Amino acid sequence: MESVTIPQLINPVIEKFYRKCQDDFLIGYYFQRQLHFFDQILPQLKIFWLCDLEKQLGFAISLSTKQFNLNQAHQNLKLKRGEIGRWAVLFLETLNEEKARLPHSLVIAWEKRIVFYRNLFWKKFSSAK
Ligand code: HEM
């Protein structure tokens, strides 16, 4: 039997999540105005989550040299508290829809990280209700 890699497991979830984000009534405008989001930023987000989840699961980090600057990417967006909450709701919803084909340990680790980043963004980036 062929072994499945982590990118093969997580990339479809990330793609589905950002398609939802783009169509969303509340946060869609951030993604619609970024014309290169899907061809330039989405590949970065896949690397980000691969590094993050490999670390959580205790695997060797295959792409760990890449540094992400969350400040730089988000400080000018002036995200509102409710928008950050919406990001987390959509992400958790997508993960829940896809969880049947994912290892349980991956789902649990990923849910925790989504909540962790939501809380971090609430502290660091939210500008208003
Ligand atoms: C409402 C919430 C959010 C919105 C609207 C949003 C929007 C965006 C946008 C527009 C970019 C592209 C920035 C650019 O032009 O380079 C971006 C990049 C990124 N976002 Fe978010 N974001 C949100 C929350 C988050 C959260 C909570 C995380 C934490 C996991 C995150 C992780 C990233 C990463 C890793 C990048 C790529 C940064 C890079 O290429 O260095 N975002 N986001």
Q: Hey, what domains does the chain have and what are their CATH numbers?
A: 6-124 (1.10.490.10)
- Residue found by looking up tokens 């002036």 in the block: 78
What's the pLDDT band for 39 if we cut at 50, 70, 90?
confident
CA of 74 from ligand 1 middle (Å) equals 6
pLDDT at 89 over 90: yes
Ligand 1 atom with the shortest distance to the CA of 31 = 10
Range of lowest pLDDT (5-9, 31-35, 112-116): 31-35
pLDDT at 120 over 80: yes
Does 44 contact ligand 1 (Cβ within 6 A)?
yes
Mutation probe of ligand 1 site: the residue of 23, 27, 53, 70 with most atoms within 8 A of C-beta: 70
Per the document, the length of the chain is 129
Give a three-class secondary structure readout of the chain.
Answer: CCCCCHHHHHHHHHHHHHHHHHHCCCCHHHHHCCCCHHHHHHHHHHHHHHHHHHHHHCCCCCCCCCCCCHHHHHCCCCCCHHHHHHHHHHHHHHHHHHHHHCCHHHHHHHHHHHHHHHHHHHHHCCCCC
Ligand 1 atom with the shortest distance to the CA of 79 = 1
